A and B are shown apart, each in its own frame.
Chain A
């Protein structure tokens, strides 16, 4: 019983820690959007191109956050079952 509790607790804590990876893309995307706003403010006529490039860059920067989210989901939904079966 104790082992099961430890496995479940470790999975939940690990999922929580893995979501710390969400900080990076948040900062990065905010910085990118800020710079895009500056660029649009300086040259309002280039709004369309700047927005497209920014969205593209944001989607790429988001990937690392998604990796950590996938790890978190695996720890919540997949890992407990596999680990508990092995006990």
Chain B
């Protein structure tokens, strides 16, 4: 019984030491799918919606606007596109695991990149509300000795966000691989008595992995994408209230 669990495979190497991995190629596929979906939904818009397409597009846009308004309050009119983009790319790249492809969010590089973007946004809003000096003064509270701990707390935000998403998705990938290997071994033992090549077919791999996939691929992806966006919203609206 052999289990091979690997990270993203290196597909090809460019000069200057640039490496193109499976993560990047799958991410390009996701970006292409989302761009085509947007183009399909928003083409041929009318003032009075005629087809189903425009109704769906308006529903999604209204949902994003309402979500931001409920959770961040007024004054964040430019946020729905960012949050919706983050949610859709996170959701689609996690759902890629359903097709048996390597989900880009199972790579720490992807999630850490998003978390760094969010962290820069949070810092920007903190500087904007408290000023440059006020921010560093806030780190000295309640005592100047505690400044290192405040600094660690500040930098643990992007790391915990990145590892939360990465951990959930990559755990799903690893556990699915382990279950597949175990079921292949078990069905090899149970169906040993069948003649010829019939014994080599892993019959027990039918059924059970589907339930696991339902949890790890669908439920976990949707929930973790939602949590990532929700935490972004919470941190940013927290950063933009004056202390």
Contact = CB atoms under 8 A, between A and B. Distances in A.
Nearest to A58: B223
Given A66-B163, A70-B163, A77-B5, A60 B168 contact: no
A60 B170 CA distance: 16
Contacts of B160: 63
A55 B227 CA distance: 9
A60 B227 CA distance: 8
Interface in B120-173: 160, 163-164, 167-168, 170-171
In terms of DSSP, what is the predominant structure of the interface of chain B? helix
Interface residues of B, number: 15
Interface in A38-79: 55-56, 59-60, 62-63, 66-67, 69-70, 73, 77
Contacts of A56: 226-227, 230
In terms of DSSP, what is the predominant structure of the interface of chain A? helix
Interface string B212-243: 00000000000110110011000000000000
B224 A69 contact: no
Contacts of B41: none
B223 A55 contact: yes
A21 B174 CA distance: 18
Contacts of B174: 73
A59 B163 contact: no
A61 to B, nearest CB: 11
A32 B55 CA distance: 38
Interface in B161-202: 163-164, 167-168, 170-171, 174
A69 B174 CA distance: 11
B8 to A, nearest CB: 15
A67 B168 CA distance: 10
B167 A66 contact: yes
A67 B223 contact: no
Nearest to A65: B167
A63 B171 contact: no
A67 B163 CA distance: 8
A69 B227 contact: no
Nearest to B160: A63
Contact of A67 (B5, B167, B224, B230): B167
Interface of B: 5, 160, 163-164, 167-168, 170-171, 174, 223-224, 226-227, 230-231
25 contacts: A55-B223, A56-B226, A56-B227, A56-B230, A59-B168, A59-B223, A59-B227, A60-B164, A60-B227, A60-B231, A62-B168, A63-B163, A63-B164, A63-B167, A66-B163, A66-B164, A66-B168, A66-B171, A67-B163, A67-B167, A69-B167, A69-B171, A70-B170, A70-B171, A73-B174
Given A59-B164, A66-B167, 16 more contacts: A56-B226, A56-B227, A56-B230, A59-B223, A59-B224, A59-B227, A60-B164, A60-B227, A63-B163, A63-B164, A63-B167, A66-B163, A67-B167, A70-B163, A70-B167, A73-B174
Interface of A: 55-56, 59-60, 62-63, 66-67, 69-70, 73, 77
3 tightest CB-CB pairs across the interface, nearest first? A66-B167, A59-B227, A63-B164
